[in-house]
Every structure is written in C-alpha cells, then in structure tokens.
Structure 1
Amino acid sequence: MFLIFFSQSSFAQVYVEADQLLRLIESQQRQLEEQKTKIQRQKATLDALRQQAKELRQAIPEDPSLPPGPKYQHAETYPSELETEIAEAPTNWPGSIQVTGSEMQVKISGFAELDANYDTGAIVSPAEFITSAIVTSDRTAAEGEDGQTNVSVQVSRLEVETRAPWGGRKINTEMAVDFLRDFTSAEPVLQLREAYGQVSDILLGGSLLLGQDWSTFTNLTAAPNTLDYEGPNSMLSLRHPMVRWERVFLSTLSLRVALEAPDERIFEGAIEVSRWPDLVVAVISQTDHMNFQGSLVLRDLRGSGEPQSAVSDTGWGVNLSGVIHMPGRLARDFISYSYSFGSGYGGIVGDFPPDATYDINDNRLEAIPTLAWYLGYQHWWTPSLYTVATYGLVQQDNFNFQPEFAFRETQYSSINLTWTPSPQWLFGVEALYGTREDKDGAYGSVWRTQFTSRISF
C-alpha cells in the first residue's frame, strides 16, 4: 500500500515539473519572437537610413576646390555593408588591416593593367614609349618598320606596406613589384620596384630611409598622368638603393639629403667602375595650390678605358620641377613641369642618354652636357573625364670624338582622353609621337596609339 502511494506521488511530481518546463519553454519562445520582431524593425530603420545617406551623397555637388582625382560620383559605387564596416573600422590609415595581437598595420594595394598599342615605325620598346629606343638607321620589319601591334600587362603592380609604432616613433616599410624588367619585350618579367624601411624622428629630428626607392633627384608629384607608363622622355625616373634623411622644417617646407648607389652609369667606350655614391640634396615646398622641388646631384663618374686604367670625371645636375594648380573655374586643372641641366647625369633621365664618353686618344672620360625638360597640362572635362597633353625634350652636346651614332636629341609628345567611371577603374586612349636624332643626323620617328584599362585594388 505504501509503495502504491509513493508511486502515485512520484508520478504527480513528474507531471508538475513537466508542466513547469513547458511553461518556461513557451515563455522563452515568446521572448525570442519579440526579439526577432525588434531586430526586423531595427533592420528596416537601418536600411532606410542607408538609403537616405545614399540619396544625400548623390545630391552633393562637386567641390571645385578639392584636388583632382577620382571620387565616388555614381550611385553604383556606393559601398556594400561589408565595405562600410571595414571603412568605419577605427584606423588612422584607410584601407589598412590591423595585425591581430600586434600594433602593426598592413596595406595591400596595386592594379591589373592591360595596354594595347600600335606603332607606325621602328621602335624596340614595345611596352613603354622610350623615344631613345626609336631606330634611326637600318630599320627592319622585326623592329616594327612596317607597323606592329603589342599587347602587354607588364605595368601591373603589387604593393605591400606596413606601419608600426616604436617608442614614440613610426616604422614604415614598402615592397612593390611589377613586370617591366625587360623593356625590349612585351612579355612580363618580374622586377623589384621599391623595397625600403623608414624610421621617423631618428636623427636630428628627421626620418631615415634605407633601401630602394626613387632617386631623391626625382619629383614624382610633377609626373604627368600619361597612360604610357614611361611618361615624357625628360622625366627623372631612376630607382636604386640609398640612404636618405628627410626633415620637415615648416608645414610647407622640407629638406632631403641622400647617398645613393653609384649604379646605372652609362658610358660610351668605357666600362663602369663604381667608387663613390651619388650625393643628392633636395628642397621641397608644398602648399594647397602648388608644389616645387629644387634638387642637386653630384656624381663620381669612373670607368676603365682601352689601356685598362681607371679614368674619371665629375657629373652634376640641377632639377627644378613642380605642379601649379589653376585658379577660378579651372581649379581642378594643373600644370606639371620639370627643367634639368648639367653634365654627367643622363643615366637618371628616362631616355637614358649616356653620362659620359671615353676619349681613347687622350685616355680621358668626359661628362656629357645634358638638357632635359617637359611641360604637361591636365584638364578636367567632367568630374570623371580628363585630358593630359605633354611635351618633352632631351638634348646632349656631342664631342667630336664621340661615335657618329651617338645620342643627340629626342622629342616626346602625347595627348590622351581618360575616363574613370569608378575610383577603381580607369581606361582611355592616348596618341604619342616621338623622334630621335643622332650625332650624324640620322633620324627616326614613330606614332603610337595606345589603349589602357587599369583596375585597382
């Protein structure tokens, strides 16, 4: 009897506990449904705010006071939710990624570019328009005398940059590669562009750069936006290893001093024998309406001639270059310019004329006087459509003992029409014309038409 009573009591308790559990489940189910409804309302509100922000962005007129460059101009370029979250992540370096467990930030960028061009004459630089590569005599069909078409992706680029704090200072690095190592072919061959590290506030209040970068003699800000990668023949375009110190003295004025590798010497009749690095000093002024750089390079030119003895001369060059923005209604337009002169600095110039020539009769090396300048103008037709017109000239004063085929003069002209339908996509067409003249009067000219499409990341 006791067992029967105990069993009935146990079953009753089980029923009570089960009923309480069911009530708890129903209560949690109701709470879950209420939260789901609340989330749906919040999502609808967020979508409405996004749509309102999108409409406001489209309604904002173009500000002519802003510096030129591609901007979000179209509704289809409005970022996705994931892009918005990344863009709004706390960082002082847009586009970078914070390395987990570290204070270092990493940024990966670059672009994939397709260049297609057609030449009307003989030139042996199919991917770049190097006017010194124009053939002046004994032209052949293999060199393009009858016309040739080339398609290349050599300009495509990959860059990796890092930034990290160090005891109140900053350590930056950059590594960049492209596929332009062999300019005589349209085939992509990997080459190192930049590879350097830079530490801020490390010496006399200035930063220190060690590695490979553009020569301090170069002003990249003044480079015209040509579709052809090479740009004007007179652009200073050397990259090599260096140690460079830079200090900002005022908000608009800075000084750079560098010792750069004694490479890329181009001698006629002598073999380069490197000895002392190049010394380069540059003063840079930057304001909202203009950029200016004045730079000086001193070079020890040393080579071995026919008697197998070392002979040398001093090379030097001065460059004045910059950008001037137009006033008023043309505020987005600007002029790019560069003017260089000196002797023995040809290896830094984009057309690579010789630095010096060897006189076998007197067993001496003579630095060659060189003049190089260009002028470019960029005009914006619409916020996403612009034209760049550029002219450049390189001249050398030849010595009597130089060979008859020695470099004398090249001229470069280009004009393009470029469209940027989105910040990541650029494409356009460009017409280029170049000439080369040698010491003996031999002459060559080439017209090139180029189509370019570049998608950046």
Structure 2
Amino acid sequence: MDNNTQSPAISAAIVFAIQALYSQSLFAQVYVEADQLLQVIEDQQRQLEEQEAQIQRQSAALDALRQQVEELRRAIPHDPSLPPRLKNHPPEISPSELEVAIAEAPTDWPGSIQVFGSETRVKISGFAELDANYDTGAIVSPAEFITSAIVTSDRTAAEGEDGQTNVSVQVSRLKFETRTPWGGRKISTEMAMDFLRDFTTAEPILQLRKAYGRVSDIFVGGSLLLGQDWSTFTNLTAWPNTLDYEGPNALPSLRHPMVRWQRVYHPTLSLQVALEAPDERVFEGAVEVSRWPDAVFSVISQTDRVNFQGSFILRDLRGSGEPQSAVSDTGWGVNLSGVIDMPGRLAPDFFSYSFSYGAGYGGLLNDFPADASYDFYENRLEAIPTLAWYVGYQHWWTPCLYTVVTYGLVQQDNFDFQPGFAFRETQYSSINLTWTPTPQWLFGVEALYGTREDKDGAYGSVWRTQFTSRISF
C-alpha cells in the first residue's frame, strides 16, 4: 500500500475548512459595509432635518417680508388709473416697485426708519473721530483744549512742559432717537454717549451725554422735556465749529438732569422755562450741599438770517465749610448769544457770539471756574463775579472748504480771602482749515493758543496743533 496517497475524507475536510474561512471573511466584510451604509443614512437624515428647519425659517422670513411689503403698499397713494386689485389676491411686487415704495414713504424725519407693527420711527447716528494733537506746554486735558487746565506753576514733563503728543478717539459718539405720534402729539426720546468722562486722560471712558424724553403740546400749549440735556442757559446754535471738541472757554456747556417746558408763540419766537439739577457746583474751601434746583428762563428768536437767545439763571449756592455748618449765597447769570448770517458777497459766512455776566454761574462755562469761595474767618460763602464772552467767524472758501476763527475770554473778580492759586483769567484762540469732501467725512487741522493767569499772578500758556478726522453715519 502506498503511504503518500491521501484519503477522500481528508480532502473533503480540507475543502470544507477553506470554505468556512472564506465565508467568515465575506460575512465580516458585509458587516463593515453595512455599518458604513447606516452611517451614510444617518448623515443624510440629519441633513434632511437641517434642510427642513431651514425651509421653516425661510418660510417665516418670507411671511414677515410679505407683511412688510403690504404695509409699504398701503403707504403708497392709490392711483385711480390703475385697475382695482382682485379681492384676496396677493399682489405681485417687483424689486423696483419695492425700492420706490421705500424711497417715497412719507416722513418728515430724514434718515429715520419705521418700526414695523408700530407707529414709532427710529434713527441711529453718530461718528467715529480721531484727534491727534501736539502741545508745546503743560496742560492736563489731552483730548480737549481746556484753558483752565493749563498749568501755571511747578510744571513737570509729565504734564507736557517739554512738549507732548496725544492721540484720542474719546470724542467718538453714538446717538439713538425715536419719535412716536400720540393723539395728535409727538413723543420723542434721545440717548447719546461718548468716551469723554475723564478729561485728564486720553483713554476712552464711556459716559452718558444725553438721556431724555419729550412730549409735544402737553402743558399750556407747550412741550415738556424730562431727562438729561444741555442746560437751558446754553445756545447750541452759537457754538463755533472748532475742531477742538471743547470750544471757546466762555461757552456755557453744562449737561445735567432737568425738567424743561418750551412753547413756540410765533414761528420766530419761543420761550423756555426749566428747573435744572443743582449739581456740578464748584466751591473753593467748601463742600457742596444741594438744596434747590436752578431756575432758567430763555427767550429764543430765529429768523432767516439771525438767531438770538437771551437767558437768565438763578441758583441757590449752598455748601458746608469749617466749622461744619451750612452757608449759602445766591448765584445768577445773564447770557446773550446768537448767530448772524453775512449778507451779499460774504454769504454763506456767519458770525457767532456769546456774552455772559453774573456771579456764581462759573461752573456752567467750558472752563469750569469756581462758582463761589468760602470765607473761613467770616464763615460765609461768596458768589464770584464772572465775565465771559467769545466771538467766532466762519468763512467758506469753497462749498467743501472752510475756516473758523475764534477768540474767548473768561475773567473773575477775586476776593481777598481767596487763595493765591485761584482762577483769575483765561484766554482762548483758534483758527482751522476744514475740508468736507463728502457730508460723511470731515478732515482738518487747527492751531490753538491758550493762557491762564491765577490770582497771585502765576501764568501759563500753551500752543496746540490738532489734526482731526471724523467719519459720520
């Protein structure tokens, strides 16, 4: 018998084993492919769900847009020459018709937009400004040219005695306004912010400029304002267009909370009466103790060529000195200010001015001199007599190029008991060249010169050169 001959049973066993191994390999491959297929199905299911959610969002957006278009169509006057629309038939609006409807929607407030579903209109505006300046002397107001901040003695390099450059965006501003009709009246609000909370640094620090609401024809035929705004003693129309944000030293420019009533008696004549917060008092040697609000009265006349405002303020000045007792005095001030448009060949140039005099109103001015000083020996608070005035002239070289020249003076009559470093006088001078290539962009250069003199004769002066770029929206 031959020992190398294999039996049929062994061969069959070998074939069966090979087939079993091959089948297991096929099964493993099928499992892998099935897992991959399930993953693909799950991914497609997830994509379908995302597409369905997107379709729902788009459907909701289309419904909202359709409602807006309907409201715009209702704002367009009906043309009798057009055939009447079929009842319950959705209108077909082309993009050009929609643009025309938006552009021609009636409004007396350019730049505002309607809040859909409401009668309120809103307007957002402001500007981004970059100021770069170089000072030749010591002054501690890098972003604003405050002449009372000129250092008169013991000047240091840190204060800019050897010259200093500052770059700031503090003047940049954001303003939000609304107007809402109400039974034949109008309710308006305004909120404005900038970054000038601390004038001793170039670092931008957010501050609230304005926050008020106003209702028209609400009391004795006049409007009522409640909130924070410029003092009623201020005539903003007479503010010269200096590139320096601060403007002339003699400009009344305080903002604080108030209640103000205004009535227009004639298209050229109106009256304002206000009670304003007794804050921002400046006392030498005493701590402010508020009691009664300031009372302010203003008469405003506005014609085609002349703006004039006459204002009177009455203030209760009350403070606590040494010993800790309350002492007080009465402060008052008169301001006459306005703008005169030049005639003939000088048009469209204009002249602006302001003249103020009184005692105890210094804290309302740009330079913020003391309102009153405390006499320790007599235990009394004395309102300081103050004279403040400025003039400005704006000349147009071309429709987009102009120059503003400004001069201002603030003087106080010092008392014998005031300290030697007490404020006595400041002077402010400026001239600029400003270019406005578009209404949204302003660029210019300005030269400023200021002086400060104290009661004891200490004196300081500073030249400043400022470059400004302002882009508005």
TM normalised by structure 1 equals 0.81
Q: Which residue does 1:349 correspond to in 2?
A: 365
Residues 408-419 of structure 1: pairs in structure 2 closer than 5 A: 408-419=424-435
CA distance in 1, matches of 2:326, 2:311: 29
Asked whether 1:134 is paired with 2:150, we answer yes
Q: Which residue does 2:233 correspond to in 1?
A: 217
What SS does structure 1 have at the residue aligned with 2:363?
helix
Q: Which residue does 1:125 correspond to in 2?
A: 141
Q: Which runs of 4+ in 1 moved over 3 A?
A: 81-89
Q: Which residue does 2:127 correspond to in 1?
A: 111
Aligned residue identity for 1:304? S
Q: Which residue does 2:208 correspond to in 1?
A: 192
What displacement does 1:427 show? 0.5
Residues 435-454 of structure 1: pairs in structure 2 closer than 5 A: 435-454=451-470
Q: Which residue does 1:406 correspond to in 2?
A: 422
What SS does structure 1 have at the residue aligned with 2:148?
helix
**Residues 176-229 of structure 1 deviation map (CA, whole Å, 9 limit, x = unaligned):** 000000000000000000000000000000000000000000000000000000
Q: Which residue does 2:8 correspond to in 1?
A: none
What displacement does 1:88 show? 3.7
Q: Would the aligned equivalents of 1:87 and 1:94 in 2 still touch at CA under 8 Å?
A: no
CA distance in 1, matches of 2:107, 2:355: 40
Gaps of 5+ in 2: 1-96
Q: Which residue does 1:16 correspond to in 2?
A: none
Q: Which residue does 2:91 correspond to in 1?
A: none
For these two proteins, the number of residue pairs brought into alignment is 377
Residues 155-304 of structure 1: pairs in structure 2 closer than 5 A: 155-304=171-320
Cα distance change of structure 1 residues 83 and 456 upon mapping to structure 2, 3 Å threshold: farther
CA distance in 2, matches of 1:340, 1:243: 23
Residues 298-447 of structure 1: pairs in structure 2 closer than 5 A: 298-447=314-463
What displacement does 1:87 show? 4.5
Aligned residue identity for 1:298? L
Cα RMSD after superposing both structures: 1.2
CA distance in 1, matches of 2:316, 2:289: 10
Q: Would the aligned equivalents of 1:355 and 1:368 in 2 still touch at CA under 8 Å?
A: yes
CA distance in 2, matches of 1:87, 1:366: 60
CA distance in 1, matches of 2:323, 2:457: 31
Aligned residue identity for 1:236? P
**Residues 3-55 of structure 1 deviation map (CA, whole Å, 9 limit, x = unaligned):** xxxxxxxxxxxxxxxxxxxxxxxxxxxxxxxxxxxxxxxxxxxxxxxxxxxxx
What SS does structure 2 have at the residue aligned with 1:347?
helix
**Residues 136-189 of structure 1 deviation map (CA, whole Å, 9 limit, x = unaligned):** 000000000000000000000000000001111000000000000000000000
What displacement does 1:90 show? 2.7
CA distance in 2, matches of 1:449, 1:351: 19
CA distance in 2, matches of 1:217, 1:82: 47
What SS does structure 2 have at the residue aligned with 1:142?
helix
What displacement does 1:89 show? 3.5
Aligned residue identity for 1:120? T
What displacement does 1:83 show? 9.1
Gaps of 5+ in 1: 1-80
Using the aligned pairs only, state the percent identity. Answer: 85
Aligned residue identity for 2:200? T
What displacement does 1:86 show? 5.3
CA distance in 1, matches of 2:220, 2:409: 40
Largest Rg, 1 or 2: 2
Cα distance change of structure 1 residues 273 and 417 upon mapping to structure 2, 3 Å threshold: same
Q: Which residue does 2:9 correspond to in 1?
A: none
CA distance in 2, matches of 1:340, 1:84: 51
CA distance in 1, matches of 2:352, 2:103: 33
Residues 21-170 of structure 1: pairs in structure 2 closer than 5 A: 87-170=103-186
What displacement does 1:82 show? 10
Aligned residue identity for 1:264? E
